[in-house]
Structure 1
């Protein structure tokens, strides 16, 4: 799967259905046949939409964990809690189950935000708070996370 690009605002209806914006649907086109996995985020009050190929790669990594280590079992259980296989229907809609809507605190207005190879689904207000520079100084975060990368061959400067 290629990198997914973009941030899109849309609405979710009372049944938990959202219309995938056309530019995002076009990027996800390769995965439409295989379906997607929708899950709770580990670190944020949002949901993560994995194209099935990306989910399978993640499961290959997780499957390497030793299941005779309690911490690993606890992690797997929590990581996969609430996981749902979902499809984008012929009308371009995605159905979010009520338990996942409740987890993410999704109301009516949502944000679909690309996160490299997955899409995060946020309640709009929670998303705005998560990117608020008054909470986390993005310049400091960028320096800490990206500042030690060797940029000789990757073009990042």
Structure 2
């Protein structure tokens, strides 16, 4: 799957269903039949939607962890807390489970934000706050993460 592109605003109905924006749905056309995994984000108060192919890659890495090391076991438990398998319904809507809606603070308006091969799902106000709060630090962050000269693609971390 190619990298996903775009930020899309949508509305959540009273049952927690959200229509996937046409531009995003088109990008996911080749993987939508396999379904998705929806989970809490590790670093932000948002949700992450993994196409099944991407979820398998992540779980391949996680499954290599030694479960007899306590911090590994704790990480696996926390990483997979609240994980749900989800699919688009016949109308092209995604059902966001109540526990994940509560965790993320999603109310009425959501933002789907592409993050390479994963989609972040945010409450619109939280998303705008996260973007505004990071603007001042972004130049420093960009330099720290991407600022090496003549970066070899194998050196990115």
- Asked whether 1:33 is paired with 2:33, we answer yes
When residues 13 and 153 of structure 1 are mapped into structure 2, their CA distance, relative to the original with a 3 A threshold, is closer
SS of the residue corresponding to residue 30 of structure 2 reads helix
Q: Number of aligned pairs?
A: 154
TM-score, reference length from structure 1: 0.93
Q: Which has the higher helix share?
A: 2
Indicate yes or no: 2:74 matched with 1:43.
Answer: no
Structure 1: runs of 5+ lacking an equivalent: none
Q: Residues 22 and 148 (structure 1 numbering): CA distance in 2 closer, same or farther, change over 3 Å?
A: same
Describe the shift of the 1:149–1:41 C-alpha distance in structure 2 as closer, same or farther (beyond 3 A): farther
User: Match of 2:125?
Assistant: 125
Cα distance, 1:136 vs structure 2: 4.4
SS at match of 1:120: strand
Moved more, 57-66 or 140-149: 140-149
Counterpart residue number, 1:100? 100
Report how far residue 141 of structure 1 moved. Answer: 1.1
Cα RMSD (Å) of the superposition?
Answer: 1.6
Instruction: Calculate the TM-score normalised by the size of structure 2.
Output: 0.93
User: 1:150: Cα distance to partner?
Assistant: 3.1
Correspondence for 1:22: 22
